[in-house]
A = this chain, B = another copy of it.
């Protein structure tokens, strides 16, 4: 069994991005990402802070726009409009969740597709599905980079994706079936309405789990020698730890790691790749290679 070291791959990519940013700056292009944060949700603040830190590490300028949780939808839309029109801003993200009085769909649709470095805009989702240049959503893109880094064979393999969320499972399933490397897999997308999840999972050569349930995938759901990618991350109580908890994924690592050929640990697997994906998209945006 080989551990997929997301932290290491993320660092490698960051080093590459640093060079690309320097080249852009030499051409008088200063890659610039704006993050919009509404309200004072602690988790959101932490996420945005780590995105800003990553920007700093690779040399991307980052600006944070913060709003109180009672900001009007109109004010938010006006801000986005203003940022859309600013040529010196290459990427823009709106940290989710948003307060309930704000229509998320409307806000997301208002971001110019060419600045939508989260890849959530319908235009980018459509371009991804059609195999056109686009900003790939962070988690699926991070997984693709891990597969590439470890030269995992995907052509003709049966890839089973568990979970059909718009930001992970669905795009992942589309990307793995495309005429590309990584890709060319026969892809099965499973979800809450799949009755025989266990046997479908056990038929996978590549199993990508984004079901959002701690240690859901046990050894009997995994084929001997499969590649297992674990997207989940959960805190579960653990008295043996100082903090009183430990982090686990959607996969029972202790059981499953005995059986598979490759596995992503939690933490340190898929997680570190998501922010690096955002950095990749921002550099792409500044380079003008997508639009």
Interface residues of A (CB under 8 A from B): 105, 121-132, 155-156, 164, 166, 170, 173-174, 177-179, 184-191, 193-195, 200
Contact = CB atoms under 8 A, between A and B. Distances in A.
Contact of A129 (B129, B188, B200): B129
Nearest to A190: B186
A189 B166 contact: no
Contact of A105 (B128, B132, B184, B188): B132
Given A122-B130, A126-B127, A130-B122, A200 B186 contact: yes
Contacts of A121: 126
What 3 A-B pairs are tightest by C-beta distance, nearest first?
A: A126-B126, A122-B126, A125-B126
Q: In the complex this chain forms, how many copies of it are found?
A: 2
A123 B185 CA distance: 25
Contacts of A174: 129, 170, 174
Given A123-B123, A126-B126, A186-B194, 4 more contacts: A125-B130, A126-B129, A164-B177, A186-B191
15 contacts: A122-B126, A123-B126, A125-B125, A125-B129, A125-B130, A129-B170, A129-B174, A131-B166, A155-B193, A173-B189, A184-B191, A184-B193, A185-B193, A186-B190, A186-B194
A122 B121 CA distance: 11
A126 to B, nearest CB: 3
Contacts of A126: 121-129
